Chain A
Amino acid sequence: DAKTTQPPSMDCAEGRAANLPCNHSTISGNEYVYWYRQIHSQGPQYIIHGLKNNETNEMASLIITEDRKSSTLILPHATLRDTAVYYCIVRVANSGGYQKVTFGTGTKLQVIP
């Protein structure tokens, strides 16, 4: 799996958009970009993933650059409950589900009232 680089921490005002960057310059053509978050003392929660196109779901938007070397997770209206460690992961997605997920250190997002 390609290595990712994320800032260790970020602050965001409540109600504003939180933009979390991730660099993955060594990503391979068949690797997806995944985002998870871990709220304190809980298991990681899946947020979103994508291959090359931008993606949006009820939780967030994922913007992937054209060269796929970096991406940004956008939480459009951050709330205090979005305070968590956010992990950007790149991995191959296959039908067998055998591909393990390797976690980096992530970005600790603090949403401020």
Chain B
Amino acid sequence: GAVVSQHPSWVICKSGTSVKIECRSLDFQATTMFWYRQFPKQSLMLMATSNEGSKATYEQGVEKDKFLINHASLTLSTLTVTSAHPEDSSFYICSASDRTGETQYFGPGTRLLVL
């Protein structure tokens, strides 16, 4: 299957700083990538759909000015958590569809801890 990577795998930052998370499709091109967030003991919640070369589409209740998404190439999407606060501490996961579009593959996730 297709491989999706994320970097970093974990990050600790101070409240008020910004954190950038990268999502890469390693062996395929993805015009669309998705960003999810998962709080402890909860299921994954979709945050936004990242479209190459255009603006991201955010789910209801997700602040687009706080969670900046850039999908500048067919293999890279970035999520920047701006002015992070402790309540933003979570597990962030990205996914991308392979060429057929039939299957989505997920990255290993990035654990963010805001102090």
- The dominant DSSP class at the A interface is loop
Cα of A36 to Cα of B104 in the assembled complex, Å: 10
Given contacts A49-B103, A104-B43, A105-B43, is CB(A97)–CB(B109) below 8 Å?
no
Please determine whether A32 and B102 come into contact, CB atoms closer than 8 angstroms.
yes
Report the stretch among A14-22, A38-46, A61-69, A76-84 that lies at the interface: A38-46
Please determine whether B32 and A98 come into contact, CB atoms closer than 8 angstroms.
yes
B97 interface residue, CB < 8 Å from A?
yes
- Chain A interface residue count, Cβ-Cβ cutoff 8 angstroms: 26
Cα of A96 to Cα of B82 in the assembled complex, Å: 30
Report the stretch among B14-22, B60-68, B88-96 that lies at the interface: B88-96
Given contacts A41-B109, A93-B102, A94-B101, is CB(A101)–CB(B34) below 8 Å?
yes
| A:59-113 near B, CB below 8 Å | 87, 93-106
A-B CB contacts (within 8 Å), total count: 69
**In the complex, chain B residues whose CB is within 8 Å of the CB of A32:** 102
B7 interface residue, CB < 8 Å from A?
no
Cα of A95 to Cα of B98 in the assembled complex, Å: 9
A1 vs chain B, min Cβ distance (A): 11
Given contacts A97-B101, A103-B44, A105-B43, is CB(A43)–CB(B30) below 8 Å?
no
Please determine whether A97 and B31 come into contact, CB atoms closer than 8 angstroms.
yes
B85 interface residue, CB < 8 Å from A?
no
B107 vs chain A, min Cβ distance (A): 5
Cα of A34 to Cα of B98 in the assembled complex, Å: 15
Please determine whether B102 and A101 come into contact, CB atoms closer than 8 angstroms.
no
Additional pairs, 11, CB under 8 Å, beyond known A41-B91, A87-B43, A96-B32: A42-B108, A43-B107, A43-B108, A43-B109, A44-B44, A44-B93, A46-B104, A93-B102, A97-B32, A101-B104, A103-B44
Chain A residues within CB distance 8 Å of chain B: 32, 34, 36, 38, 41-46, 49, 87, 93-106
